[in-house]
């Protein structure tokens, strides 16, 4: 290999790291004090367990267990243990078996709870005395993850930063050889291990179990997964799973897979082949490894054994057989760092939600829309954030009937418009594909758009604008009297369409959230995935659209809070906006008729 080619290949990790950092909104710039403290210790034959609390960010507590070998001479190699999705987090029996296997083999293990799992449940119902959302992490990650996207972050940055600070803590321990620290995890923990391989260059080896595949197979199979696993623009940047490994090259990386996993095995095999070829170009053959076993998703005994043998080779420098013996796990409560088993009911803690809420509050007064004075500048900003190139020309009124574009409005509700003599055009929003793997159809459809650097609401806005153009071209329709009525998530698309098309005569947005900023400030929200535009609050919020729509009529009909309740839409100036209540038994034309009157 020529020196030039080798240099070019070695530059790839730094370039990939910078590119990926941009996709997740960057990492925190400062390592603040860890404030580490041990809240309890117990011993078992051959090792002790310390119950550890440290701060990843100020006030953002991480609950962890440190496993330390006894009766051996250190310093020891160490492994950062990243827990996958489970209600018990680090204390789940499967994960305990991995940590105990390693500590018995002579490794220090630092295992910690991810946000939203174990003792770090973030959405806790104090009246019920239990988590508000379904345990296991998925719903908590999506709940906070959507809020993070609105400010231009990925929730992944918090998972990654926890791991980086865990590494920092290990370097403070005299029992640990800081040159021999690896990371290992399964499922969601395998995700975190792959991410840390990118962002923690001090790591010496990495094991990702039941996560690595290829996007082609994942896309056609179970589809996008949790919010931390969906980085906006990842596929648009032509990245794939292999790039997590390329960023780690030429250091040792083990892909550990289950043949019957929902992370497709064909994708794992293809990624391994691509990674192996890359390592060979770096003159590092054999340092990326692949292990598969014919079972289902999970950190089963064969994969745990493969992990130990891998770390033996690359952290201890020995090639020895390893077979996991009987392991007696602890009751979850034995491993609790907190007195109650939850930070929420003991020490308290910042959460991803509270940290992101503060980030939103910081950027909101500085959003670009506030500095723009000309409507055409704001309109260009909106169009750029949505990624839409469609521009409306001037519209000349003429003879003919008024027309209404309806979006997200059921056909029976729209029929009275036609009966009243109005031309009606349905915006073709497209049906949402069925959700897979327990994820909602709306979430997965939106995630597919985010991965390509787009948003579902932008696609729906484009459909509304297209319908407006089609209605204008219909014979017998007055092009100067085209109205847009959107309901639910499509109500946001209707507002955006009216902001971008000056020829729309009026807009009515029914039963839709009134502000993206409000979503970031509400602890709980629902039905918002369809309207999330990554990074939008850095540019504008929905009430800013008044400056593009007024003085045309703008109705907010039964507006909603992020949680789905009634909103007073206080963010919207009443000088230009009419908040309308739609009585349940009123026919459509009784409440909507005044909106359609010529101005």
Answer yes or no: do 162 and 311 share one domain. Answer: yes
Contact 379, 436 (CB under 8 A): no
Whichever domain contains 410, its CATH number is 3.40.50.1820
Contact 282, 10 (CB under 8 A): yes
Domain boundary among 358, 377, 398: 358
**Per-residue confidence (pLDDT) for residue 23, from 0 to 100:** 98
- Region 558-567: mean pLDDT is 96
- Which residue from 150, 177, 58 is spatially nearest to 356, judged by alpha carbons? 150
φ/ψ of 267, rounded to 5, equals -70, -40
When pLDDT is cut at 50, 70 and 90, the band that residue 1 belongs to is low
Two structure tokens written together for 117: 């799992």
| Mean pLDDT for the chain overall | 95
Residues 169 and 200 in one domain: yes
Structure tokens at 124: 């806790």
What is the tens place of the pLDDT at every residue in 361-383? 999 999 999 999 999 999 999 99
Which residues contact residue 486 at a Cβ distance below 8 angstroms, ignoring those fewer than 6 apart? 406, 407, 408, 409, 427, 464, 492, 493, 494, 495, 507, 508, 509, 510, 512
pLDDT at 400: 87
39, 16: one domain: yes
- Answer whether 210's CB lies under 8 Å from 236's CB: no
Whether residue 379 is found in the same domain as residue 471: yes
CB atoms within 10 A of CB 513: 26
Decide which of 358, 387, 404 is a domain's last residue.
358
- Paired strand residues for 510: 487, 557
Residue 502 CA to residue 394 CA, distance in Å, equals: 8
* Co-location of 281 and 395 in the same domain: no
Asked whether the predicted pLDDT for residue 19 surpasses 50, the reply is yes
Q: Can you tell me the mean pLDDT for 532-558?
A: 97
Residue 337 has pLDDT above 90, yes or no: yes
pLDDT of residue 392: 64
Kindly state the average pLDDT of the residues 470-498: 96
Structural domain containing residue 385: 367-596
Pair (381, 514) in one structural domain? yes
Q: 388 and 340 in one domain? A: no
Do 157 and 272 lie in one domain? The reply is: yes
Q: Are residues 340 and 374 in the same domain?
A: no
At what angle are helices 456-472 and 375-386 packed, to 10 degrees? Answer: 120
Q: Once rounded to an integer, what is the mean pLDDT over residues 396-414?
A: 91
With a cut of 60, say whether residue 315 has pLDDT above it.
Answer: yes
User: Do 317 and 430 share a structural domain?
Assistant: no
Dump pLDDT digits (tens) for 481-493. Answer: 999 999 999 999 9
For 227-267, how does the pLDDT look when each residue is reduced to its tens digit (9 = 90+)? Answer: 999 999 999 999 999 999 999 999 999 999 999 999 999 99
Q: How far apart are CA 442 and CA 435, in angstroms?
A: 7
pTM of the predicted model as reported, rounded to 2 decimal places: 0.95
**Residue linked to tokens 């078996």:** 97
* 387 and 321 within one domain: no
| Structure-block tokens of residue 511 | 């039963």
Q: Within this chain, do residues 268 and 378 fall inside the same structural domain, yes or no? A: no
- What's the whole-number mean pLDDT along residues 181-201? 98
Rounded average pLDDT over 41-58: 98
| Confidence category of residue 110, pLDDT binned at 50, 70, 90 | very high
Q: Does the pLDDT value for residue 4 go beyond 50?
A: no
Tally the domains of the chain: 2
Looking at 336, 358, 380, which one is the last position of a domain?
358
Structure confidence at residue 6 (pLDDT): 52
């Amino acid at each position: 290999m020529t020196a030039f080619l080798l240099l070019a290949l070695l530059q790839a990790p730094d370039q990939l790291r910078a590119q990926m950092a941009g996709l997740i909104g960057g990492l925190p710039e400062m390592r603040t004090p860890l404030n580490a403290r041990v809240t309890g210790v117990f011993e078992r034959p051959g090792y002790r367990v310390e119950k550890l609390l440290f701060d990843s960010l100020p006030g953002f507590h991480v609950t962890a267990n440190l496993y330390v070998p006894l009766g051996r001479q250190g310093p020891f190699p160490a492994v950062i243990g990243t827990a996958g999705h489970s209600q018990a987090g680090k204390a789940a029996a499967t994960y305990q078996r991995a940590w105990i296997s390693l500590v018995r083999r002579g490794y220090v293990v630092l295992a910690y709870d991810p946000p939203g799992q174990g003792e770090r449940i973030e959405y806790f119902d104090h009246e019920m005395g239990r988590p508000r959302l379904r345990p296991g992490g998925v719903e908590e990650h999506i709940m906070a993850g959507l809020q993070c996207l609105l400010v231009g972050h990925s929730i992944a940055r918090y998972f990654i930063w926890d791991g980086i600070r865990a590494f920092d803590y290990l370097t403070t321990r005299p029992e640990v050889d800081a040159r021999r620290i690896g990371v290992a995890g399964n499922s969601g923990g395998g995700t975190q291990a792959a991410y840390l391989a990118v962002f923690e260059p001090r790591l010496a080896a990495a094991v990702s179990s039941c996560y690595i595949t290829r996007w082609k197979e994942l896309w056609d199979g179970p589809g996008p997964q949790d919010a931390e696993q969906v980085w906006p623009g990842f596929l648009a940047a032509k990245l794939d799973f292999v790039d997590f490994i390329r960023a780690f090259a030429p250091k040792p990386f083990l892909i550990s897979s289950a043949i019957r996993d929902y992370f497709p095995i064909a994708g794992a095999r293809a990624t391994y082949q691509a990674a192996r070829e890359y390592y060979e170009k770096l003159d590092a053959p054999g340092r990326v490894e692949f292990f598969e076993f014919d079972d289902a998703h999970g950190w089963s005994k064969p994969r745990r054994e493969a992990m130990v043998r891998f770390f033996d080779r690359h952290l201890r420098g020995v090639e020895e057989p390893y077979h996991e013996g009987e392991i007696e796990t602890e009751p979850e409560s034995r491993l609790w760092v907190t007195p109650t088993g939850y930070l929420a009911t003991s020490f308290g803690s910042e959460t991803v939600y509270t940290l992101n809420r503060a980030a939103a509050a910081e950027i909101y007064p500085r959003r670009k829309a506030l500095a723009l004075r000309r409507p055409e500048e704001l309109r260009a900003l909106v169009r750029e954030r949505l990624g839409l190139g469609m521009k409306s020309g001037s519209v000349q009124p003429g003879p003919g009937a008024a027309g209404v574009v309806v979006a997200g409005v059921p056909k029976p509700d729209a029929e009275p418009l036609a009966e009243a003599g109005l031309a009606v055009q349905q915006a073709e929003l497209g049906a949402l594909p069925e959700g897979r793997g327990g994820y909602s159809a709306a979430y997965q459809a939106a995630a597919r758009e985010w991965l390509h650097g787009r948003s579902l609401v932008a696609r729906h806005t484009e459909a509304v604008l297209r319908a407006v153009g089609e209605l204008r071209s219909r014979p017998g329709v007055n092009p100067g009297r085209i109205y847009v009525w959107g309901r639910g998530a499509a109500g946001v698309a209707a507002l955006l369409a009216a902001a971008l098309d000056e020829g729309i005569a009026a807009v009515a947005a029914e039963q839709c959230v009134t502000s993206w900023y409000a979503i970031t400030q509400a602890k709980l929200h629902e039905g918002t995935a369809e309207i999330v535009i990554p990074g939008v609050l850095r540019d504008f919020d929905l009430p800013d659209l008044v400056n593009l729509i007024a003085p045309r009529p703008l109705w907010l009909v039964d507006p909603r809070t992020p949680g789905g309740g009634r909103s007073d839409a206080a963010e919207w100036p009443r000088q230009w906006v009419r908040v309308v209540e739609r009585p349940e038994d009123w026919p459509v034309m009784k409440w909507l008729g005044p909106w359609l009157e010529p101005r």
